[in-house]
Chain A
Amino acid sequence: MSIAIRVEHLSKEYRLGVINHGMLYKDFQSWLARRLGRPDPHGQLGAAHFADQKDRFWALKDLSFEIEQGDRVGIIGRNGAGKSTLLKILSRITAPTEGIVRIKGRVASLLEVGTGFHGELTGRENIYLNGAILGMKKREIDRKIDEIIDFSEIEHHIDTPVKRYSSGMYVRLAFAVAAHLDSEILIADEVLAVGDAAFQKKALGKMNDLSKDFGRTVLFVSHNMNTISSLCSSGFVLDRGAMVFSGKSIDKVVSWYIKGGNRDAFESRAVWEDRDEYAGKKFSPKKLYLIDGTGEMVSEVARTEANLRLVMDIELREISQLLNFGIMLEAEEGDLIFWSFAKDADTSNVVLSEGINKWSVRVPCELLRPGQYKVTLLAGLHNQRWIIPPEPSSPSVVFGVCPGHGVSSFFDENRPGSIAPILEWRKER
């Protein structure tokens, strides 16, 4: 595979605060005062104290990476991590301060839909104008105009000035133009968060086609982990202008990001095995691990629709009628989500025998907010004493939850609430 984009030691510096006074006469006064050795009339008080403090900051610092042709790369990071700056440099909107970028192939960048639309022009005229701004030739647009109009679903209003369009129509038209750009490399910011649900689905599908079917190289920035993981194959995480994690598998990257977002995150542990801690005890857990609906072991991250189950191998030496066991689920912020025990409902179901017992319990991850969770095994004699108490040292596994493919773009990861359940909705007659 050949390299489509090579970025070497890329840095971008922005100056913070007052670049100049924005007024020539003020700059002139400052300059004159400095020449005469007087204090600057426009300087900030005590500015000399902070003279060598940083009034500059690096939006990107010494960033190097390579992207192969056909890669679909998701760029993840918090606000201010440098994602947009990187895209701006790659799209030649602003120049880097240091470093060099080499690109092979025509670049189409979509940092915004509808750039350059003019309200007085008709939909058709705007298709030509916007297409040309994005780098298309008139002949290309001629060839594709029917397809574009068709995709935008606004045939009837195509010769109406766009200022009369609803915002949804405007966005549909704008996306339709952008989606029909021919290029080897597609750079896109969060452009999919537009339009109604049906159009979003269509837009996402189009992005998928564009990136997958034609072997196009894609760089995609989004805050929506769901969109990222369905569109991209690999990715990297930016933090304060530097790449802090990258991976060939987007799921790994997303999972790292979900964990890395919190400094007090649990130590990752997908499987717990007894190391002679409980050996020889009457109730002795041997192994805890997670499986998904297909019975596959879950290594790090579960999707919300994964039908996750915790499997526990427990060796019993003595059966007590009072014995009960269960799980405790905690979120990474230390919030207790719930306790749940095997004998909560029908106790006759819980038949225990001496030797190895293999039990499993469904972990309702479709209720959980995206993030890191810890599930701990609990056991005790009812109303008498703990065998395995709810303590950090008790057997536990840690897993991450990210929104699944089934989640629509209406699902907002940052909604309030300690859980974010995806419930079944039904229309009643």
Chain B
Amino acid sequence: MSDIAKDDDGDWSLVIRPKRKWLDIDLREIYRYRDLIKLFVNRDFVTVYKQTILGPLWFIINPLFTTIIYSFVFGNLAAIPTDGIPQTLFYYGGTMLWSYFTSCLNSGADVFSGNAGLFSKVYFPRLTVPISKVFSNLISVAIQFGTLAVFYVYFAATGSPVRPTWWAFALPLIIAQLAALGTGFGMIISSLTTKYRDLRQLIGFGVSLWMYATPIVYPLSELTSRYPDYSWLMSLNPVAAPIEAFRAAFYGVGGPSPEMLISSIVMTAVFLFAGLLLFNRNERTFVDVV
């Protein structure tokens, strides 16, 4: 009987084998755990403002103060132009998108180390954790976007030359790309940091430098006009394109070149795929190496 059963897994609801295929993601199972994703998102959101005075206001205090500092340091002291966009809108928008990218990256990178206790005691599809983080980070972006809209209306009404284009409807795509990029990159890091802890330090430091390689505190146009010979380097930074695309869509100025856009999308796909691949390799054995 066992010979017959050997190759027939159909009767069994679960078969546990040593090795899996390189990419073996059970989307149906993740869908079955959708309530868990919702509850994780709820937990992340609720626990941020429990026992705080300002509660969810913290979601906008951070980018607001960053905007004030950037306006002073980069806008006034360094006098970097902002493509004619009011400084508040320019820095606030950039900070909002950049912090979404980095929070996806960080939560992706901390999936294993931050959940070691949970992962070593109970099984559930591990991908639910990074997925839930994408959504819980989305909540803060949504709140920040709401405040940005208020500023936007104010500046538009007071005669600033900011006009949205039809591309504004592509906002979900921009957000989705940042999420995919951040999470993909984060998952690559998370899989490497289960072995090499010092990589985590490097990433924390690297990400803060990365921001200056991205048109957050300066417009892309400024860079290309000052260093036309090196502007192709921007194509190597996949985060630059979605941020410039956001400015083009909402403020009507700037925008990535087509080659930048294409390379950014390709790199996003590669990072996400590599991240999933490594995550998949790691999720079943990382418990043994923590």
Given A104-B11, A121-B47: A22 and B197 interface contact (C-beta under 8 Å): yes
Nearest-neighbor residue (CB-CB) of A85 within chain B: B288
Asked if B228 lies at the interface with its beta carbon under 8 angstroms from chain A, I say no
B83–chain A nearest beta-carbon distance, Å = 40
List A contacts of B35 (CB < 8 A).
132, 136-138
Indicate if the CB atoms of A98 and B197 lie closer than 8 Å: no
Indicate if the CB atoms of A96 and B18 lie closer than 8 Å: yes
Rounded to whole angstroms, the CA-CA distance of A6 and B11 in the bound complex is: 12
Indicate if the CB atoms of B285 and A95 lie closer than 8 Å: yes
Indicate if the CB atoms of B47 and A135 lie closer than 8 Å: no
List B contacts of A99 (CB < 8 A).
18
A186–chain B nearest beta-carbon distance, Å = 14
Indicate if the CB atoms of A20 and B285 lie closer than 8 Å: no
- Cβ contact of A89, chosen from B13, B16, B120, B197, cutoff 8 A: B16
B42–chain A nearest beta-carbon distance, Å = 8
Segment of A111-119, A268-276, A341-349, A373-381 engaged in the interface with chain B: A111-119
Asked if A102 lies at the interface with its beta carbon under 8 angstroms from chain B, I say yes
Segment of B85-93, B121-129, B212-220 engaged in the interface with chain A: B121-129
Query: Which residues 86-104 of A have a CB within 8 angstroms of B?
Result: 88-104
Rounded to whole angstroms, the CA-CA distance of A107 and B123 in the bound complex is: 10
Asked if A152 lies at the interface with its beta carbon under 8 angstroms from chain B, I say no
List A contacts of B121 (CB < 8 A).
93, 111-112, 115
Indicate if the CB atoms of B12 and A115 lie closer than 8 Å: no
Nearest-neighbor residue (CB-CB) of B284 within chain A: A95
Query: Which residues 115-155 of A have a CB within 8 angstroms of B?
Result: 115-116, 118, 120-121, 125, 128-129, 132-138
Indicate if the CB atoms of B123 and A91 lie closer than 8 Å: yes
Asked if A27 lies at the interface with its beta carbon under 8 angstroms from chain B, I say yes
Asked if B43 lies at the interface with its beta carbon under 8 angstroms from chain A, I say yes
Rounded to whole angstroms, the CA-CA distance of A137 and B29 in the bound complex is: 12
- Count of chain A residues near B, Cβ 8 A: 48
B281–chain A nearest beta-carbon distance, Å = 10
A-B CB pair tally, cutoff 8 Å:
123
Asked if A19 lies at the interface with its beta carbon under 8 angstroms from chain B, I say yes
Query: Which residues 266-290 of B have a CB within 8 angstroms of A?
Result: 284-285, 287-289
List A contacts of B284 (CB < 8 A).
92, 94-95
Indicate if the CB atoms of B16 and A95 lie closer than 8 Å: yes
Indicate if the CB atoms of A102 and B12 lie closer than 8 Å: yes
Query: Which residues 1-56 of B have a CB within 8 angstroms of A?
Result: 2, 5, 9, 11-20, 32-33, 35-36, 38-40, 42-43, 46-47, 50-51
Indicate if the CB atoms of B13 and A104 lie closer than 8 Å: yes
Rounded to whole angstroms, the CA-CA distance of A96 and B33 in the bound complex is: 24
Rounded to whole angstroms, the CA-CA distance of A88 and B287 in the bound complex is: 10
B33–chain A nearest beta-carbon distance, Å = 7
List B contacts of A27 (CB < 8 A).
196
Nearest-neighbor residue (CB-CB) of A114 within chain B: B121
Rounded to whole angstroms, the CA-CA distance of A323 and B86 in the bound complex is: 115
B220–chain A nearest beta-carbon distance, Å = 33
- Cβ contact of A107, chosen from B14, B50, B289, cutoff 8 A: B14
Asked if B195 lies at the interface with its beta carbon under 8 angstroms from chain A, I say yes
B43–chain A nearest beta-carbon distance, Å = 6
Indicate if the CB atoms of A93 and B13 lie closer than 8 Å: no
Name the residue among A25, A107, A121, A133 with the largest chain B CB count within 10 angstroms.
A133
A-B contact pairs, 26 of them (CB 8 A): A14-B288, A19-B195, A23-B197, A27-B196, A88-B120, A90-B16, A92-B123, A94-B285, A96-B18, A99-B18, A100-B17, A101-B14, A102-B14, A102-B15, A104-B12, A111-B122, A115-B121, A116-B122, A118-B43, A118-B47, A125-B46, A133-B122, A133-B124, A134-B122, A135-B33, A138-B38
Q: Which 10 interchain pairs have the tightest Cβ spacing?
A: A95-B284, A132-B36, A101-B16, A92-B123, A103-B14, A138-B35, A102-B12, A24-B196, A120-B47, A112-B121
